[in-house]
Amino acid sequence: MMIKKNKFNFTLLTIVLIQIFLLVNMSFADSYFIHQTDPLKDNKERINEGKNKDLTRIIFNLIVWFLSIEQIRSVYALSNFGCCLETTEGAICQPLLDEDTRCADGKFQPASCDDVSSCKLGCCIESEEGLCTTNSPKQKCEDNGGTWSEDESCNFPSCNKGCCVVGQQTNFLTEESCQALSNFYGVEKDWRQNVKTEFDCVLFSNFLDIGACVSSDMACRIKTRNDCSLESGDFYKDYLCSAPELAEFGINCTKQDSISCIEGKNEIYWFDSCGNKENIYSSDKEFSWNNGRVLKKENSCNPDSGNINSEDCGNCEYFLGSICSQSSKAGNKKVRDGNYVCKDVNCYDTYDRTDKKNGDSWCVYDASIGNGTDPVGSNHWIHQCIDGEEISNSCDIMRNKICVENTTTLDNGEKISFAGCVTNEWFDCLKINNEFDDYVDMKRECDKNNHCYMKMIWDPKEGTDSDLSGGIDAPPVWQCLPEYSPGLPFYDSDISSAQCSIATQSNLKAIKVKKCSWIIFGSYKWAINPVTREQKFTQSMNKWCTSIGDCGAYVNYIGVPTDGGYKVIGETPKLTRAYLEDLKQFKTPDPSQSGKQSGKSDYYLNLEGLPPETDAGWGTIAGTAAGALYLASSLGGLSVTTIGSYFAITSTTADGTITYLFSHTSFGAIAPYASAAVAVAFGYFIGIMIGNLFGLGPEASQSLAIVGAATALGVGIYSGYFATGAPNVFAFGPALVWAIIVVFVLAVISWLMGCGKKRIYDTGFECWPWEPPSGGNFCNMCNNDVHECSEYRCKSLGDACGFIDQDTSHPKCVWLNPSDIVPPMMTPWQESLTDGYSYTNTLVSPPSLGTEIISNTPTHCLEAFKTITFGIQTDKLARCRYSFEDKDYTEMNPFTGASNTNHTSFLMSPGVKTLQEEISRLIAEYEGITPEDEDYSAYLELLNTPIDDKLRVYVKCKSVNGYINTLPLAIQMCIDPEPDKTPPAILSITPKDNSIIKFDAIETAVMMYVNEPSECKYSSEDKPYDLMESDFACDTELTAGSLIGWKCSATLSTPSEDNTFYIKCRDRPFAPIEERNTNNGISYHLKKSVSILNIDSITFTYFDEKSSKTINSGETLEVGSEPFSSELKATTSGGGYDGKSQCSFSFKDSGGFVDFMETFSTKHTQKFSFMKSGTKELTIKCIDDAGNTAQQDVIFQINIDSLPPSVSRVYNDMGSLKIITTEDAECYYSLDNCYFNIENATSMTSLFSASHTAEWVPGKTYYVKCRDAWGNMVDGCSIVVSPNMFV
């Protein structure tokens, strides 16, 4: 083979390679370090294994895998947490990791807080006051005199609230609180447990028996019947003290003497001359007096109106926007008979220029919301009108909660709006992308949640040549994106960088293939990803980027766009100015937009299994169909030619010509035609085969096939006719020979003309944290807003904005240094360098032009495959970027971190030799030389031109006011010139050595990372590398690596209980064999689980302060009230770890699985604080570290017993009063009346039972109250018994 040495700019190529290498690695850098901190990574590796199929998904999954899921899950999975009795700040009973320095010295307990007696959480009851507080630590509660109980949600009778009547006022309190309040006011406790809500309790005061209470000294007071009876007064229901009928008793109170407000009441009331409250004020005095009778609110003047500022009616109503007030506090408006008025407490001309009623709440949005359009710095605000004042609160500083609003029309046509903040479930959307590979599954899950939406990012086949696209297996890239993009601390960008990188696609290739439609004539046609070179791809990627948080090119909430948050790679175009201008539209909120609740439980079943409904989706289906058709036709052709070949071979074996064969058969007449057909088919087949062999592409191969068929036909007829002179003789042999010759020659010509060759274009998009506009012109807008300023909001207005006085009620956003117009001074930062490396100087630039990094190795160079950190410092807050050429600042790559004075990044070099090899390989690939070629190694050798072993990194910084260094700071380092002499090292392997694998695992997927590009093999015996039988599939290209190494994977056969493998690797895959290094390998063991994983039991337990009840699946449980506290428990056994596993549960129709609160053991517990009655159908799923799984469905029936026990029978039982109740209960009696406290009464029951006994005392009346185990009890008496009635 003639080899011409091409002229290449090797230096440029070296830089390009390193740059690609670094770009690939840098993207992972932050993610990797975060990942390394995650204690659960090993578990997750197992969970995610075997999922990834295509490159795009692999990259995306890897990033998400590194970042998102691990981070959040680690928060919930508390298995590695202990209990900190007291933090350095003074917080008690906090679950923390043992290495967490926030725990005070000696205060860490290596156990769950629930297992530390002093920190056990429960309900603390302040006995004296009857106040119950949830989630309270045991010791703290008891030390302060409280009574502690285990149900942390306080779901038990003594903490249930009822309506406490004190005088004419009602309060919603526990029974104990009611007792305390009654004691304080010196009245008998009147507590109504059947009033279940606070609102009902407020209304309850209207139903109390009110009337005149005349005492023995002839004083009259308005009281409740109960209060009056306690004072032994005479009660006159519904009478006022000014009623003429009471005058005959000597009551002399003059009606309507004055008016006033009453604390706890909304209305204006008349008062008589004795100081008694009368009826609601009306200027129609006679109507209001009501002949001396109590007039209910609903019968008083204008009951359906708030009577705001009315001169004639004092029937104020808070819910309708008014409350009784002194005139002086209500603009001096007043009713006719006094200085009071129904003050207006509605809100007028609110923030959104509308009038609102008292109690209304509504959402206000700074800017556009939904569809991932929420601008940077924008918030969702909830506004409330309360007592005439408009109050605004942000749902969350960074849109982790969104505002949802509903409007209801009342019967009278009035509209009331109410709003609430709900959690923005953006994270669930990102999680879905990681959990599902299949489009249909992903869409189904995504559509379940209103906080997510599906978006196609790009279609690799869009714009490709129609013939080519059918054969490419590259589905459209869809993502489930957050409907409401979350805020990110872009100004403190470790987290932001990691999150934004989820939307980075830095290693895409757009590929053209030379399509020769007629053997040698052809042109390059797009095969894959042509769209990645178009503006719409960049825009679509930017949409993805901006949707996942404050990333990419976007606007802030005042409409200032910036484009510092992304970078395009290679041929991908940058965003246009028009696009950026267009983003300004999102600063304006759309009045028709409102936040939605996630509605996660809504499941649109009809979507399941249906094709995508978008145009793009149908395009996908069409493309797939085209591909299928292509495949079908190919297979059809193959089967025809195969049959033909078989037939021809059989024939030629018989005689040499088909004519002869057929002439001796009954089919002799058709033999020439049959042989011609077979020859044509053979020629066609040869054309296809040779075309494919030369890699000419389907079109050229098709052409060759036609030529082959035609040649075979032509030659066969010609040779047959001229050789024999007979018209119906077909020369089969020559036909085949010439067909092969012609096809082969044409194939060679086609190959030389470049048919089927590829042109590869680098494309891609890197998503970085959003950059605020330079300077601080807009900082003050944060202060002048109605809405509160926050650091997040302030920083979005300008890079130079500072949020000061944060610890005050009036923090400010200010331009920190407006007069600073000097670019930052840059200094090499010695401390940032990895140990063993140093800068030759640390002079300030300018004026210094640069420095050099040297290592303490003999060569002073950066060792091959060694990662180092390097960094610079600036004299002021700045953003710094670097590149390997002196470029414009906007073209460079960012250091980690946002505006800062310390800037660091990472470097890893493969070494000169490896770089040379990689360059040679790329050139060879470009030239079409493959490893299969005989001269491949020689060719690579020839290409090994020495390359520059110096690498320069150029750094420029931009001050927060936007001033950039004109001259860069250059940091030079040499790359190790020596060939890599160290054998490859296996950095990690999954599953780990000596892992236990599934009980029924015949094969096990193994993935490992090697520290450099290598080839690896394995065997069941320890033998030399070359003799090992099986290969790992390894990433051998330099640019395929990441900071965790180069990936190798294989599926190992694991038939035995104990399986041992020996694994060895050899580096530098493209180097001559004698220069490559082989390691000694490792022995690797996988042991099978002893049995399958079993779920032994699943129980459901109700519990309260006094009792608990447990049921198994299929059983029914009766409880007293809802919501109630309960516990779901599962136990596991078997598997690889004696039952130790991670279990999760899912309620039917409620969506996904949720991990048990306590799991990672053989016992799995989940508490429910607010369980309600009904049929509970659950699925429990467990998985152990070996991958053994178990699943079980259960059903529990929970019914509510809300009825009080009733008395079914009363009789004289051998001289005793015996009462039988309809259910087990405890009964008490009083001899006075039904208004007694059972705690102080005489018990008729020893334990809860249906039979109750008391002494039979004729002449006495027994007022009996019965209460069941759930505390159900009638308000009055269960029965009133007088033994006189019985014989």
Partner 1 sequence: MMKKRGQLTIFILIAIMIIAIIILFFLLRNKSPITLTGGNEESPESFLQNCIKDKFSKGVDLISSQGGYVSNTLNIGYDDKKVSYLCYSTLNYQKCINQEPVLITHLETEIKNYLSVEISSCWDKLTLGMQEKGYTVNVKKYNYTGVKLTPGKAIIELKNAEIRLTKTEESLKYNKFRLNFNTKLYDLAVVVQEIVSQEAKFCNFENLGYMMIHPETKITEKTFRDETTIYIVEDRKTKEQFFFAVRSCAIPGGIG
Coil/strand/helix, residue 1100: strand
Q: Which stretch binds partner 1 (CB under 8 A): 14-22, 397-405, 1143-1151, 1227-1235?
A: 397-405
Q: If binding is defined by CB under 8 A, does position 84 make contact with partner 1?
A: yes
Q: How many residues bind partner 1 (CB under 8 A)?
A: 82
> In this chain, which of 149, 179, 368, 384 binds partner 1, going by CB under 8 A?
384
Quick one: 418 or 889, whose CB is closer to partner 1? Answer: 418
What contacts 768, CB < 8 A, 6 or more positions away?
497, 500, 501, 551, 552, 564, 565, 566, 567, 894
Q: If binding is defined by CB under 8 A, does position 105 make contact with partner 1?
A: no
Q: If binding is defined by CB under 8 A, does position 141 make contact with partner 1?
A: yes
Q: If binding is defined by CB under 8 A, does position 71 make contact with partner 1?
A: yes
Quick one: 59 or 201, whose CB is closer to partner 1? Answer: 201
Q: Which stretch binds partner 1 (CB under 8 A): 38-46, 84-92, 620-628, 632-640?
A: 84-92
Nearest 5°: CA angle at 525, between 519 and 528?
Answer: 130
Taking CA atoms, 1054 is separated from 44, 996, 1032, 1069, 1084, in Å, by 22, 11, 16, 28, 12
What contacts 710, CB < 8 A, 6 or more positions away?
680, 683
Half-sphere exposure of 610 (CA within 13 A, CB side): 10
What contacts 82, CB < 8 A, 6 or more positions away?
95, 96, 97, 98, 108, 109, 110, 111, 112
Task: Please give the residues from 718 up to 777 whose contact with partner 1 meets the rule CB under 8 A.
Answer: none
Question: What minimum distance in Å lies between the beta carbon of 1013 and partner 1?
Answer: 31
User: Please, are residues 768 and 567 in contact by the beta-carbon 8 Å criterion?
Assistant: yes
Burial environment of residue 461 by CB neighbours within 10 A (0 to 12, 13 to 18, 19 or more)? buried
Quick one: 837 or 1103, whose CB is closer to partner 1? Answer: 1103
User: Please, are residues 1194 and 1205 in contact by the beta-carbon 8 Å criterion?
Assistant: no
544-557 as b/e: b if 16+ CB within 10 A: bbbbbbbbbbbbbb
User: Please, are residues 1095 and 1182 in contact by the beta-carbon 8 Å criterion?
Assistant: yes
Strands 161-166 and 322-326, sheet pairing: unpaired
User: Please, are residues 1160 and 1151 in contact by the beta-carbon 8 Å criterion?
Assistant: no
Quick one: 197 or 840, whose CB is closer to partner 1? Answer: 197
Phi, psi of 875 (to 5 degrees): -80, -5
Q: Which stretch binds partner 1 (CB under 8 A): 82-90, 214-222, 856-864, 1194-1202?
A: 82-90
> In this chain, which of 2, 4, 9, 89 binds partner 1, going by CB under 8 A?
89
Task: Please give the residues from 402 up to 461 whose contact with partner 1 meets the rule CB under 8 A.
Answer: 420-421, 423, 427
Question: What minimum distance in Å lies between the beta carbon of 87 and partner 1?
Answer: 6
Quick one: 199 or 521, whose CB is closer to partner 1? Answer: 199
AA letter at 482: P
Task: Please give the residues from 286 up to 345 whose contact with partner 1 meets the rule CB under 8 A.
Answer: 318-319, 323
Binding mask 230-269 for partner 1 (x = CB under 8 A): ---------------------------------xx-x---
Question: Is residue 1204 reached through a cis peptide bond, with omega within 30 degrees of 0 on the bond before it?
Answer: no
Quick one: 554 or 954, whose CB is closer to partner 1? Answer: 554
Place of tokens 């490992």: 1008
> In this chain, which of 22, 59, 154, 960 binds partner 1, going by CB under 8 A?
154
Quick one: 418 or 647, whose CB is closer to partner 1? Answer: 418
Q: At what angle do helices 732-752 and 615-654 cross, to 10 degrees?
A: 140
> In this chain, which of 75, 605, 1002, 1285 binds partner 1, going by CB under 8 A?
75
Quick one: 134 or 1202, whose CB is closer to partner 1? Answer: 134
Binding mask 347-366 for partner 1 (x = CB under 8 A): -----------xx-x-----
Rounded to 10 degrees, what is the CA torsion of 915, 916, 921, 926? Answer: 100
Question: What minimum distance in Å lies between the beta carbon of 896 and partner 1?
Answer: 15
Q: If binding is defined by CB under 8 A, does position 804 make contact with partner 1?
A: no
Quick one: 67 or 341, whose CB is closer to partner 1? Answer: 67
Q: Which stretch binds partner 1 (CB under 8 A): 146-154, 911-919, 1147-1155, 1265-1273?
A: 146-154
Question: What minimum distance in Å lies between the beta carbon of 141 and partner 1?
Answer: 4
Binding mask 528-557 for partner 1 (x = CB under 8 A): ---------------------x--------
Q: Which stretch binds partner 1 (CB under 8 A): 760-768, 783-791, 1237-1245, 1246-1254?
A: 783-791
> In this chain, which of 6, 117, 666, 809 binds partner 1, going by CB under 8 A?
809
Binding mask 857-896 for partner 1 (x = CB under 8 A): ----------------------------------------
Task: Please give the residues from 481 up to 500 whose contact with partner 1 meets the rule CB under 8 A.
Answer: 486-489, 495-496, 498-499
Task: Please give the residues from 1114 up to 1173 whose contact with partner 1 meets the rule CB under 8 A.
Answer: 1169
Coil/strand/helix, residue 376: strand
Tell me the chain's radius of gyration from C-alpha atoms.
42
Question: What minimum distance in Å lies between the beta carbon of 599 and partner 1?
Answer: 19
Place of tokens 């009278």: 412
Q: If binding is defined by CB under 8 A, does position 1247 make contact with partner 1?
A: no
> In this chain, which of 788, 948, 1127, 1224 binds partner 1, going by CB under 8 A?
788
Question: What minimum distance in Å lies between the beta carbon of 769 and partner 1?
Answer: 9
Residue 535: CB atoms within 10 A of its CB come to 15
Q: Which residues pair with 210 in a beta bridge?
A: 224
Q: Which stretch binds partner 1 (CB under 8 A): 135-143, 282-290, 1011-1019, 1090-1098?
A: 135-143
Binding mask 28-67 for partner 1 (x = CB under 8 A): ---------------------------------------x
Instruction: Please tell me the distance from the alpha carbon of residue 868 to that of residue 885, in angstroms, as a whole number.
Output: 20
Token reading at 1089: 């689980």
Strands 995-997 and 1082-1088, sheet pairing: parallel
Q: If binding is defined by CB under 8 A, does position 790 make contact with partner 1?
A: yes
Task: Please give the residues from 559 up to 618 whose contact with partner 1 meets the rule CB under 8 A.
Answer: none
Token reading at 1243: 């018990």
Task: Please give the residues from 181 up to 240 whose contact with partner 1 meets the rule CB under 8 A.
Answer: 181, 184, 198-199, 202
**Helix, strand and coil percent figures for the chain, each rounded to 5:** 30, 35, 40
Q: If binding is defined by CB under 8 A, does position 9 make contact with partner 1?
A: no
Q: If binding is defined by CB under 8 A, does position 782 make contact with partner 1?
A: no
Quick one: 261 or 1207, whose CB is closer to partner 1? Answer: 261
Coil/strand/helix, residue 797: helix
Q: If binding is defined by CB under 8 A, does position 99 make contact with partner 1?
A: no
> In this chain, which of 386, 607, 843, 1274 binds partner 1, going by CB under 8 A?
386
User: Please, are residues 312 and 333 in contact by the beta-carbon 8 Å criterion?
Assistant: no
> In this chain, which of 48, 52, 79, 134 binds partner 1, going by CB under 8 A?
134
Question: What minimum distance in Å lies between the beta carbon of 693 and partner 1?
Answer: 50
- C-alpha 906: how far from its chain's center? 29
Q: If binding is defined by CB under 8 A, does position 157 make contact with partner 1?
A: no
Rounded to 10 degrees, what is the CA torsion of 299, 304, 307, 313? Answer: -10
Coil/strand/helix, residue 1264: strand
Question: What minimum distance in Å lies between the beta carbon of 345 and partner 1?
Answer: 8
Coil/strand/helix, residue 511: strand
Question: What minimum distance in Å lies between the beta carbon of 138 and partner 1?
Answer: 9
Quick one: 83 or 213, whose CB is closer to partner 1? Answer: 83
Coil/strand/helix, residue 1001: coil
